[in-house]
Amino acid sequence: MFFKKKSTPLLGIDISASAIKLLELSESGGKYRIESYAVEPLPANSVVEKNIADADAVGEAIGRAVKKSGSRTKYGAAAVSGSAVITKVITMSAGLSDEDMESQIQLEADQYIPFPLEEVSMDFEILGPTEGNEEQVDVLLAASRSENVDLRIAALEVGGLEAKVVDVEAFALENAVAMMARELFGGGQGQVIAVADVGSAATTFSVLENLKIVYSREQAFGGAQLTEDIQRRYGLSYEEAGLAKKQGGLPDNYGPEVLEPFKESMAQQISRAQQFFFSSSSITQIDHLILAGGCASIEGISEIVETAVGIPTVIANPFANMSLASRVPAQALNNDAPSLMVSCGLALRSFD
């Protein structure tokens, strides 16, 4: 499920709280090109707390996103959220074939997974030799309740796609950060990189050491709060407030009296998330902070956050060194880039 090998072009489909984010990449000579992309809003309450509540509504939105993107690709990669996945690194004998390893994991899995195994989808990937013991290998086991996986497969089917991969959001994020780190941070090895992903409903603060996630924590804060502030302040519907936030046209006092306080709140939330991390970890320093999610597109936010956290801060743009197919709207992609980290990480699964 999670780590299936393939060499098929895949659409990276990120199913977030408020939108479907679709991305398709191609690769030639080690360089990536964006073939298609689309962002399609989701109906209210079709995804609740990262769980699909209405697979048909989500699937129809996926279908609209595919149509909008112009892609002809029929295979998709989606992801389950980290909170819905159990991951465990276990050690096994290095001499086992994949089939023998799979059989042994099936026999032993109930030690690691607190659900009945018939209700679970799981997969494994060999990470490499166990430190200090050449005869053993470290194996990453990932498991999720089958309904989490099945709902994503069903939603993709409604949208006209066949699910080739169901990944984990955290692993997709690792893929995208590793690609950015090659361009920005000299590869990222030996460094601690944090990602603050501020979406519409939640902020996820993840920390990667040597490009592997070692910490992830979610808090209830996101762009929906800014939309609600606009709604209350100017007597608009939630939909009107959301449009005004994106398109402009609000009164002159919007910037100083509504937007600036929100930006300060966002910086405080990220600073608080950083303090939580330091208090629960032996890591004492973060080298770089990547701001991701829809709220990272707010003008001037990186400077405010950098001042609050005291860490060099960049806005996520996994596409900085990619070329674009002619049908991809460059300006729209640039605006949406910070919120496309997970869909980019999923689209990169095409090249496993």
Per-residue pLDDT reduced to its tens digit, 258-269: 999 999 999 999
User: pLDDT at position 98, please?
Assistant: 85
What is the token pair recorded at 55?
A: 């697979």
Residues 213/206, Cβ–Cβ less than 8 Å: yes
Residue 288 has pLDDT above 70, yes or no: yes
Burial of 296 (0-12, 13-18, 19+ CB in 10 A): buried
User: pLDDT at position 83, please?
Assistant: 79
Those residues whose C-beta lies under 8 Å from the C-beta of residue 341, and which sit 6 or more positions away, are: 172, 173, 176, 177, 195, 197, 292, 316, 318
Q: How far apart are the first and last CA of the chain?
A: 14
- Determine which of 113-117, 191-195, 222-226 has the lowest per-residue pLDDT on average: 113-117
> What's the DSSP call for residue 7?
-
Amino acid at 185: F
Judged by DSSP in three states, 268 sits in helix
CATH fold, domain 11-83+147-185+317-351, is Nucleotidyltransferase; domain 5 (3.30.420)
Q: Is the dihedral of CA 194, 195, 198, 201 positive or negative?
A: negative
Domain range annotation of the chain: 11-83+147-185+317-351, 85-145, 217-313
User: pLDDT at position 112, please?
Assistant: 85
Those residues whose C-beta lies under 8 Å from the C-beta of residue 66, and which sit 6 or more positions away, are: 11, 22, 38, 159, 160, 161
Q: What is the DSSP string of 115-132?
A: S-GGGEEEEEEEEEEETT
In sequence order, what E strands does 4-111 have?
A: 11-15, 19-28, 31-41, 47-48, 51-52, 75-80, 85-93
Residue 143 has pLDDT above 70, yes or no: yes
Residue 58 has pLDDT above 70, yes or no: yes
Give the helix ranges, DSSP H, for 136-287. 146-158, 169-184, 223-234, 238-247, 254, 260-279
CATH of domain 217-313: 3.30.420.40
Strand order in the sheet with 85-93: 85-93, 133-145, 120-130
The rounded distance, in Å, linking the Cα atoms of 61 and 47 is 12
The rounded distance, in Å, linking the Cα atoms of 63 and 193 is 35
What is the token pair recorded at 148?
A: 């989490």
The rounded distance, in Å, linking the Cα atoms of 142 and 148 is 13
User: pLDDT at position 79, please?
Assistant: 95
Residues 80/156, Cβ–Cβ less than 8 Å: no
User: pLDDT at position 241, please?
Assistant: 92
Choose the CATH number for 85-145 among 3.30.1490.300, 1.10.40.30, 1.10.1200.30, 3.40.605.10. 3.30.1490.300
**152 compared with 117, residue with greater pLDDT:** 152
Residues 326/33, Cβ–Cβ less than 8 Å: no
The rounded distance, in Å, linking the Cα atoms of 73 and 250 is 40
**Cα 121 vs. chain centroid, distance in angstroms?**
20
pLDDT, averaged across the chain: 92
Judged by DSSP in three states, 26 sits in strand
Residue 256 has pLDDT above 90, yes or no: yes
333 confidence band (pLDDT: 50, 70, 90):
very high
Are domains 11-83+147-185+317-351 and 217-313 of this chain identical in fold? Answer: yes
User: pLDDT at position 86, please?
Assistant: 87
